[in-house]
Structure 1
């Protein structure tokens, strides 16, 4: 009732703050904070996470937020993001908007140069951040190029409760990392990818200081880090569970030390060209808790090392093998025999792995839920037939450039893996209507279908999919046999569709656009690139009911003129991106109304 405040009179501060914490969407919290001064104060106190992008005056902005939000535990700074890009990206994370004013740099003589001041957070900003958020537990500084060891030392000394630190792309040196080791004794998660200023000295000091608490470590593209660092990690970081390495100068010596000193290791990702079977065999012998292994471009990794992994790591659930040319069916058979709990398998560019290796996976790994085969020319239909017979829980299948797999294999998957939710196929030219029709008939749970550049797939396949599945995502770009009939079937059978890519479909016209507008009101993103028969008439019917549309690509569609672009902009209140080719005429009124929404593609496909 007007004049009676029944909520503030009854609810204590603690209960109001708990209500704020349960509001995931930032706009809802912002709206509540405008009710009264008390709610504004309590909402600020309840915030625990802040997300910051690039700003015009970062140092001043950091001072403001440290005064207003006193209970922050997580700060995420990503200078790759502009302010518009960060708004609304993650509802669960608080995105803070700096002051809109921009300052100008002055020359030595004191005159205005007219150049905008560089937007970055510096060591001074980090110092203020550390002083204001002494209870900080998680700090992410992604590509903050102007942060050095001086700022990191200040944060380490002030934020001693820090548990997670992401320094990806920061040019911090050894003194900063050493200070983190000395001060942050509770640190559990550390990301040092692309920290080019680091050397063994800093990593050794870090391991000495907080090695007992460290559980996750990622290092990539650090040319000065060698086996010495890994030996220190193996000696002091006995609780390490996750290790990701992309280093050129690491050899067996360093990885052997980690394998012997970190028996609790669960996740291991390696891209180290000098590592051989000896090191991987040590992992298989010592790290019996390993659940995820990803190896990329290990030129000296053979079946011998993979067999030891299969024999020792019985808990392995995820395996990724990428560009390991010496692996063959024998190694994959050892994984199938020993790792019965395997749920995820990706084979990418391992040209000597063929049908027999994958057949063994189908026979033994009954819990498999996701399978990805990329550039596997020797894997044929019989492999997928065996997977269909044995892996009843398969939910996702990815096939790229697998020239020996055709309709027979896809039919086997359709009949046996009826829980399939995602099917992505690209440039598999032996797969046609027959296989996709079988998917539509048997896989009723399918929600995500991608058939990019599959020349033999036509309207018949999409008619079966529309009748049997309720898709949310569909990509048929480059499938030139698909026309209006197939897309109309999807429009009538898949009302939950939110993403559609029909690029380069020369037979697609306005009739399909009309049906999509009537049947798919939830559509948020549509790609119509190089569709020569779609005109302003079709696009008008599409956007009439698809008012939730956020992204629309109409580049190189000669039938869509400036009027069609204006129709999209004016009819879709949520539109964020309209892509056209450079040179397409767009009216001045449309540019004034939605200049930031329109993007121009400069490369002719």
Structure 2
């Protein structure tokens, strides 16, 4: 009944707060907070996470937020993200009249003057030690803190934070130039710390890391180090000696050798996740991992120069619980090494092989024969893997749900038919520049893989309309990317539009045979479309956009550069017809002054002025 509040008068605060906590998206929570003052207060009371980007004054924001949100436990400050402050002064063309001297106008003027003065100082756009101190004072119960690329934060601020935020469990200092004193303070006061990320912290040395490790030895479970020239094997030896609960280790360093990795392997027998990019680590270290880390579940190795089949055999022999394996640019690992993993690690669920040029068909056949629980397979730049490898996967890995193929010239329709017939639970299929895969393989996927929701066929120039017709008849896609498949035309896209009403993401860029008919069909059949890429489609015009946008009101992004048939009128139609639009990529000369005034914040240009 109009005029009667049926919610606030009946529901207690505890129940409304619980409803807010169950809302997953921030826009939904923000919308609820605008209903009334009570809901605004309760939403602030229930919020536990804050995210802050680079702004005109992070220090000022931290102090302001600490007074409004009282129960925050997680704060993420990422100065790679821009978060420009809305204009605080009224538009110049509007006359304010008597309101010029109003108190609110005066406050806005004072804040605007403050903003302008701070903008002249480069450091005003970065969180400083003062801001970190304000954060510690305002949020003493914080448990998770991320400071990503905050260059003006030093040991002084970190010491202040550590002394007051003793409940800290997760600390991410990626790209911060903090020193040893700050890290030592964290080790001294934050005895509950479980996760620590020190990637690209160039100001640290072994002394600071060792002090922290000794202080947090009873709680530390995850450590990440990358590109820190003064963190060496000494730090890893301290980790191995003290951190008996360590489960996750990420190392990207040319200053770490076998000695450091062996110390961690022998001292941290609970290790579950190991990611290494260390050019000076050899098979000796992996022999220790195989001997001591029987709980290892995830192993990722990048750009190894001295890692061979010997190390792979050690892993296969000792790490029976291994579920995820990533090998990237490991040039000296061959099929024999992968066979050793397959025979020893039968619990594998995910395998990624990227640029390992000595791994061929036989190695992957072993995976197909021995690892029936495989659910995700990624083969990138694997020129020596042929059709029979995927035939073995199709025969032995019935649980496969995700398949990525990039630049695999030996894989064709025979392989895809085997995957389609054997892996009928396939949900995501991403193929790029596999020129031997054509209509026959994709038709088999459409016929047998009814659960497929994501399909990407980028630059597969043998795939045409008949393949997409089969997909439209057999699968209900949510995402489709056929960029560069020049044989696809209106018939194929129209079949997708008729058969995939749940489609939300579509990329049909660089398709020369696509015209307005496709857009009209998409408008009729795919009202849930959110992301659309039309770049380099020369036969699409403003008329097609008009038909599309009559029903596709949920569109958020639209890329349409080098579309000669789209004019400034089409761009204006997109921004005016789509209330949720966030990004339009277009040539600058196609954007009218009126469109800029109306939606300049969502327009992105192909080329920026120098």
After TM superposition, the score normalised by the length of structure 1 is 0.93
Superposition pairs of residues 258-273 of structure 1, within 5 angstroms: 258-273=264-279
* Deviation, structure 1 residue 468: 0.6
Which whole-Å deviations, capped at 9, do the CAs of 1:222-251 have from their partners, x for residues lacking one?
Answer: 111110110011111110000000011110
Q: Which residue of 2 aligns with 1:92?
A: none
In structure 2, relative to structure 1, the CA distance for the partners of 1:527 and 1:9 (3 Å cut) is closer
The 1-side partners of 2:217 and 2:471 are apart by 53
What secondary structure does 2:250 align onto? strand
Paired with 1:113 and 1:321, the residues of 2 have a C-alpha distance of 46
Match of 1:143 in 2: 149
Give the drift of 1:368.
Answer: 0.2
* Equivalence for 1:243: 249
Question: What residue is the counterpart of 1:64 in the other structure?
Answer: 64
Residues 55 and 28 of structure 1, relative CA distance in 2, 3 Å threshold: same
SS at match of 1:564: helix
What is aligned with 2:590?
585
- Structure 1: 5+ residue runs without aligned partners? 87-98, 107-111
Q: Distance in 1 between matches of 2:7 and 2:546?
A: 48
1:96 aligned partner: none
Q: How many angstroms does 1:35 deviate by? A: 5.6
Output the CA distance in 2 between the equivalents of 1:555 and 1:30: 34
- Which one of 334, 344, 349 corresponds to residue 340 of structure 2? 334
Alpha-carbon shift at residue 38 of structure 1 (Å): 4.8
Task: Label 1:170 to 1:188 Cα distance change in 2 as closer, same or farther (>3 A).
Answer: same
- 1:199 and 2:205 aligned: yes
Pairwise CA distance, 1:80? 1.6
Q: Is the 8 A contact 1:103 1:117 kept in 2?
A: no
Equivalent in the alignment of 1:529: 535
Change (3 A) 1:337 1:21: same
Runs of 4+ in 1 over 6 A off after TM superposition: 1-6, 112-117
Which residue in 2 is equivalent to 1:54? 54
Deviation, structure 1 residue 274: 0.3
- Kept in 2, the 8 Å contact 1:104–1:116? The answer is no
2:172 to 160, 166, 169: 166
**Contact (CA 8 Å) 1:528, 1:552: kept in 2 or not?**
yes
- Structure 1 match to 2:98: none
Counting matched residue pairs gives 585
> Where do residues 509-588 of structure 1 align in structure 2 (5 Å cutoff)?
509-582=515-588, 584-588=589-593
CA separation in 2, counterparts of 1:287 and 1:502? Answer: 47
RMSD after superposition: 2.1
Task: Give the distance between the partners of 1:113 and 1:441, measured in 2 at CA.
Answer: 60
- The within-5 A match list for 1:32-431 is 32-33=32-33, 38-83=38-83, 101=112, 103=114, 118-431=124-437
**Partner Cα distance (1:301, 1:74) in 2:** 39
Task: Work out the CA distance in 1 between the residues paired with 2:338 and 2:533.
Answer: 39
Match in the other structure for 2:101: none
Distance 1:573 1:190 in 2: 41
Cα pair distance change 1:174/1:113, threshold 3 Å: closer
Whether the 8 Å contact between 1:455 and 1:479 is mirrored in structure 2 is yes
| Corresponding position of 1:596 | 601
1:347–1:372 CA contact under 8 A, matched in 2: yes
Question: What TM-score comes out, normalization by structure 2 length?
Answer: 0.92
CA deviation string 1:396-448 (max 9, x = no partner): 11011111111100111011000000111111111111111111111111110
Instruction: Pick which of 442-451 and 43-52 moved more.
Output: 43-52
Q: CA deviation at 1:17?
A: 3.1
